[in-house]
């Protein structure tokens, strides 16, 4: 065919013969008839394992693969899809040089979608590429498998953070492992139990597990048990982000109680003042949650109002803030401050904080280790926050693998490359 080299470049294919080009004007669709180069055809390979295998049959005849648009025109490759008899996989569609096995899109199409998925919004990807969001999920999952095979993501790991992240509106969980030193997401898998985390240490291997010096985690027993077994040399640290989250939860419990009491007063007295109190307490939530340095003027006023009308809730607020401050102190001062905080919480007569104080005592050693070894940086927290955002974007994906692939391609340190660029 004329201009075969140009067509190969336009279609983004290699080791491929372009036999014919057809343009369907009505559909505005360009169909490129292709076949693998003669040498590739003579030594056909299994699509799954790439092992050279004898021919089997013609499969289901000719099929199509979507390629990148040319200008505004959609493009498909069309070719025969014969099967080979693989020693391991039996009759399997033969590998083709322009697409991944089982894929309905070419390599360059896949690569561009993966790149876009890490760069722009869901609607930008689906509208620009004219594919469903589910298809995006399938594409990034298969791209990640190939990217992963090219890199050793477990090299030089020393300090790990282990965490769980909920998705599907809190019905499912991922266990994630982050590298404290590079801020990279190292590993993620569905589930939150011992078996899930053991799979990580299996993948890491014994020798590399022994080189881990620090592990931070949220204090969950299943994590500490596995870490103690598989990474006995590592200093175990609490994750300050989670400890502060415990305090925020305790504070919220106190706020809800106050709110319920105020609401109860409404039904008893039908008084406007009590109803206003309940409403104001409900809206005080953000003022109570935020770090004081980030409060708006209105939220500061809200806090002052809480101090005046509900001293108990205000005391709970100060307890939460006190604990948060411990993590910002140098080690020596933090040791002392944590003791003072424990004594204060023990005597505070607010059950949520008395309970929290017991939990803090239980994890005291790992909390202080986190401060001593400087693992209280916000890096892991920020990776976790970003992954949480991704779990929302990935909601329409069919499998957790697609969600994990998107997270890994975004934060694993190996972003997909835009086709044709270096």
Minimum distance, C-beta of residue 90 to Zn ion, in the bound complex (Å): 8
H-helix or E-strand spanning residue 414: none
Minimum distance, C-beta of residue 7 to Zn ion, in the bound complex (Å): 31
C-alpha to C-alpha distance for 109 and 399, rounded to whole angstroms: 21
Q: Are 377 and 116 in contact (CB under 8 A)?
A: no
Q: Are 215 and 234 in contact (CB under 8 A)?
A: yes
Render the burial of 144-155: b for 16+ CB within 10 Å, e for the rest: beebeeeeebbe
State the residues that interact with Zn ion by CB under 5 A. 46, 48-49, 86, 88-89
Q: Which residues pair with 17 in a beta bridge?
A: 35
C-alpha to C-alpha distance for 27 and 369, rounded to whole angstroms: 65
Query: Residue 90 or residue 311: which is nearer to Zn ion going by CB?
Result: 90
Minimum distance, C-beta of residue 43 to Zn ion, in the bound complex (Å): 14
Query: Residue 86 or residue 217: which is nearer to Zn ion going by CB?
Result: 86
C-alpha to C-alpha distance for 61 and 59, rounded to whole angstroms: 6
Minimum distance, C-beta of residue 86 to Zn ion, in the bound complex (Å): 3
DSSP string, 288-351: HHS-GGG--HHHHHHHHHHHHH-HHHHHHHHHHHHHHHHTTS-HHHHHHHHHHHHHHHHTS--H
> Token digits for 107?
């390599």
Query: Residue 83 or residue 363: which is nearer to Zn ion going by CB?
Result: 83
Query: Residue 83 or residue 180: which is nearer to Zn ion going by CB?
Result: 83
Query: Residue 94 or residue 288: which is nearer to Zn ion going by CB?
Result: 94
Helix (H, G, I), strand (E, B) or coil at 260: helix
Query: Residue 46 or residue 403: which is nearer to Zn ion going by CB?
Result: 46
């Amino acid at each position: 065919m004329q201009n075969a080299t140009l067509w190969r470049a336009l279609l983004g294919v290699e080791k491929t013969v372009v036999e014919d080009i057809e343009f369907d004007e009505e559909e505005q669709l360009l169909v490129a008839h292709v076949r693998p180069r003669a040498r590739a055809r003579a030594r056909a390979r299994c699509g799954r394992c790439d092992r050279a295998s004898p021919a089997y049959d013609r499969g289901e005849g000719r099929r199509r693969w979507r390629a990148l648009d040319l200008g505004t025109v959609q493009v498909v490759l069309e070719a025969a899809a014969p099967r080979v008899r693989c020693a391991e996989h039996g009759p399997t569609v033969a590998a083709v040089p322009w697409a991944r096995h089982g894929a309905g899109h070419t390599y360059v199409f896949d690569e561009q979608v993966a790149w876009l998925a890490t760069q722009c919004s869901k609607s930008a990807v689906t509208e620009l590429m004219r594919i469903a969001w589910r298809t995006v999920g399938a594409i990034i999952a298969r791209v990640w498998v190939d990217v992963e095979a090219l890199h050793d993501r477990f090299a030089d790991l020393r300090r790990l953070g282990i965490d769980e992240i909920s998705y599907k509106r809190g019905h499912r969980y991922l266990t994630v492992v982050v590298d404290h030193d590079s801020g990279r997401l190292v590993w993620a898998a569905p589930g939150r139990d011992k078996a899930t985390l053991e799979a990580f240490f299996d993948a890491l291997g014994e020798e590399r597990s022994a080189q881990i010096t620090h592990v931070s985690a949220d204090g969950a027993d299943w994590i500490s048990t596995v870490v103690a077994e598989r990474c006995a040399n590592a200093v175990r640290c609490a994750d300050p982000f989670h400890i502060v989250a415990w305090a925020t939860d305790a504070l919220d419990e106190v706020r809800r109680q106050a709110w319920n009491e105020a609401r109860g007063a409404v039904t008893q007295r039908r008084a406007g003042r009590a109803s206003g109190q309940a409403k104001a307490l409900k809206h005080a939530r953000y003022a109570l949650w935020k770090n004081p340095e980030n409060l708006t003027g209105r939220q500061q006023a809200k806090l002052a109002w809480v101090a005046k009308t509900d001293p108990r809730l205000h005391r709970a607020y100060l307890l939460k803030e006190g604990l948060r401050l411990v993590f910002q102190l140098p080690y020596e001062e933090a040791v002392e401050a944590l003791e003072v905080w424990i004594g204060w919480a023990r005597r505070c007569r607010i059950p949520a904080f008395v309970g929290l104080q017991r939990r803090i005592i239980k994890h005291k050693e790992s909390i202080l280790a986190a401060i001593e070894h400087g693992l209280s940086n916000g890096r892991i927290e920020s990776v976790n926050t970003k992954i949480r955002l991704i779990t929302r974007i990935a909601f329409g994906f069919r499998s957790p693998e697609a969600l994990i692939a998107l997270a890994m391609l975004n934060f694993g340190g190996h972003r997909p490359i835009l086709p044709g660029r270096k």
